[in-house]
Structures are given as C-alpha cells and as structure tokens.
C-alpha cells in the first residue's frame, strides 16, 4: 500500500530522493510491478467521479495539444455528457483532472503525508490521453513533478532548462509503462506521446515555499496595522512625512526580525493538510479502452 514518500519511491531510499529533489535531478525508476500504483487511482474511480458529478467542472480540462475543447461539446445542463466525452477521447482529446487529492482519499493521504515530510504543498492531477498526441505541447512546468504511470504507455521527451525553446536533443527520451515513475524537475521542457491505447498517469506536484511566501506573510500581518493604513499624501509638512516614513520602516524592520522560517514552513504545511463513466446507451464503455489495459 502506497501511503507516503518512501513507499511511493521504493526501491530508491527517501534520502536519495530528497537529494535528487534538492539538486533537481531527473530520476527514472522502472517499475517491477505494473499494478503497484492502482491503490492510488483506477479507471473506475475516475468514472465514478464523473458519473456522479462529484468532480467540479472547473477543475476538469479537456484539450488537445494545449488547445481547450469547448464545453458545449461535452457538457449538458452542467454535467458531463458521457457519450460525447468518450467520442472526444476516441478522437485524440486528453483529460486533466486537477486537485484530485481533494476527491480521492488514497491520494489525499499520500499528499498529506508527503507534505508532512517535506513541508511542501503537494497536489495531485490525473492525465488521460489517447491517440498519438499529448495533452500539452512542449512546455515548462513551474513545479517539480513525480509522474506515476497507471495504465497504457507514454513516451516522454524531457529537455534541458531553458526560458525559450528546448534543445533539439532531449536529456530523457523514454517510454513509461504501468508501474514506472519519473521525477521531472521544474523548468525542464517536456512533452509526451501516448501509445496505441488510452493512457493514464498521475502527476504529483511539489510546490515548495520560497521568498515570496515571506512577502505574503508580511502583507497579511501588516495589512491591518494602523501605521500602514494611514494615507501617505495627507501630511502638513515634509517633517510629518519623514516621521511617518520612519515609523513605517521601523514597523517593517520589527516584523521582518520576528519572522521564523521554521514556523513559516510548519504553518504552511499544516494549512495544506488541514492537520467510471457509464455512457448513455453503452453501459460498459468507460474512460479506459474497452479491452483491459496493460
């Protein structure tokens, strides 16, 4: 049963993975058991989420090569029209289920436990692709990703860090099969191609705290402070303005000196954890291929 970081990355040790995370080193772990990630997510779970309208439509992305598909093609009266969505999948359209940890208990447990271990915000998304295209064109993610291949196959191309276009030669070019895991560092360009059948993978997104979190914390602490609420333009003299400026700076310095990075990370982690489609007229057709996926 996969419930935490160590059981997720076995046989790699937790220390080795955390080193790869710190160094942002791409890491590929071939799976010895094709079904080892199925306790986290199955086709049936995704079918039930859509069938019962339990998954919020704003968190569902339906697209092809980064181009969104109009909701009018698969949504009727605020609900997913299963037959239409399945037809789109047959045409090579992809689905992305964002913030899936809020709707799948096993993923929630895993994400919360990784948050407790790393003090990072952890999210989960599921990506379904079909045909020879991918959900997205070559792009650069701002977050580090752990990719878990559940069903079908995907060929991943990963390029070096760049702010523009990837180099023509990938640093990783491999086919992920069920049970395989790959750690993709942030800001490395990537794209993927599906195999001949519908493919499903989970993306575990790692969002570490950084200096911007300090700025957000300062703003939240000072927004109601009276000295910061006083208008800057309504002083009788340059001396009054200088006095106000000195008071602002003193209060800001005092607040900065009170910051504890350890407490910031602990509080942020605590806030994060909160310490099958049955198609109309075709009841056996679902998100997965009609035959059993490998």
**Over pLDDT 90: what percentage of the chain?**
53
Count of Cβ atoms closer than 10 Å to residue 22 Cβ: 8
Both tokens assigned to 55:
């998954």
Q: For 160, what's the count of Cα atoms within 13 Å in the CB-facing half-sphere?
A: 3
Residue 5: closest CA among 25, 23, 29:
29
Output the pTM of the full model: 0.82
152-205 per-position pLDDT tens digit: 998 888 876 654 454 567 788 889 999 999 999 886 555 666 667 889 999 999
Residue 150: closest CA among 203, 112, 102, 98:
203
Which pLDDT band holds residue 7 (cuts at 50, 70, 90)? very high
259-291 per-position pLDDT tens digit: 999 988 988 888 887 763 333 333 333 466 544
CATH: 3.30.2290.10, 2.60.120.10, 3.10.20.740, 2.60.120.650. Which one for 5-208? Answer: 2.60.120.650
Q: For 71, what's the count of Cα atoms within 13 Å in the CB-facing half-sphere?
A: 11
Both tokens assigned to 73:
């093609």
Examine residue 11 and say whether the peptide bond preceding it is cis (omega within 30 degrees of 0).
yes
All residues at 6 or more sequence positions from 120 whose CB lies less than 8 Å from its CB, including other chains:
114, 206, 207, 208, 209, 269
Q: For the chain, give the DSSP string.
A: ---SHHHHHTTS-HHHHHHHHHHT--EEE--SSTTTTTTT--HHHHHHHHHTT-S-GGGEEEEETTEEPPGGGTEETTEE-HHHHHHHHHTT-EEEE-SGGGT-HHHHHHHHHHHHHH-SEEEEEEEEE-TT--SS-SEE-SSEEEEEEEES-EEEEEEEE-SS---SS-SEEEEE-TT-EEEE-TTEEEEEEE-SS-EEEEEEEEE---HHHHHHHHHHHHTT-HHHHS-SS--SSHHHHHHHHHHHHHHHHHHHHT--HHHHHHHHHHHHHT----BTTBTT--SS-SSPP-
pLDDT value of residue 283: 30
pLDDT value of residue 78: 85
Both tokens assigned to 225:
């402070």
The domain spans of the chain are 5-208, 211-259
pLDDT higher than threshold 70 for residue 104: yes
Mean pLDDT of the chain: 85
């Amino acid at each position: 049963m996969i419930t935490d970081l160590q059981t997720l990355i076995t046989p790699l040790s937790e220390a080795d993975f955390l080193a790869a995370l710190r160094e942002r080193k791409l890491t590929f772990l071939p799976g010895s058991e094709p079904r080892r990630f199925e306790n986290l997510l199955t086709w049936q779970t995704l079918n039930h989420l859509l069938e019962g309208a339990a998954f919020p439509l704003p968190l569902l992305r339906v697209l092809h090569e980064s181009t969104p598909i109009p909701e009018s093609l698969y949504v009727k009266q605020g609900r997913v029209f299963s037959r239409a969505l399945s037809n789109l999948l047959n045409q090579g359209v992809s689905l992305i289920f964002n913030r899936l940890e809020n709707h799948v208990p096993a993923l929630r447990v895993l994400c919360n436990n990784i948050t407790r271990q790393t003090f990072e915000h952890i999210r989960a998304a599921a990506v379904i692709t079909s045909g020879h295209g991918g959900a997205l064109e070559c792009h650069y993610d701002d977050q580090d990703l752990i990719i878990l291949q559940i069903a079908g196959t995907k060929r991943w191309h990963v390029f070096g860090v760049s702010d523009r276009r990837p180099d023509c030669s990938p640093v990783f070019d491999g086919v992920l099969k069920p049970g395989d895991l790959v750690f993709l560092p942030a800001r490395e360009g990537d794209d993927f191609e599906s195999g001949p059948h519908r493919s499903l993978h989970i993306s575990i997104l790692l969002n570490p705290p950084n200096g911007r979190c300090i700025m957000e914390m300062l703003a939240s602490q000072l927004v109601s402070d009276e000295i910061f609420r006083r208008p800057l333009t309504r002083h009788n003299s340059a001396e009054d303005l200088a006095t106000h400026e000195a008071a602002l700076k003193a209060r800001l310095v005092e607040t900065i000196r009170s910051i504890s990075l350890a407490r910031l990370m602990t509080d942020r982690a605590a806030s994060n954890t909160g310490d099958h489609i049955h198609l109309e007229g075709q009841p056996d057709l679902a998100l997965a291929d009609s035959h059993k996926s490998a």
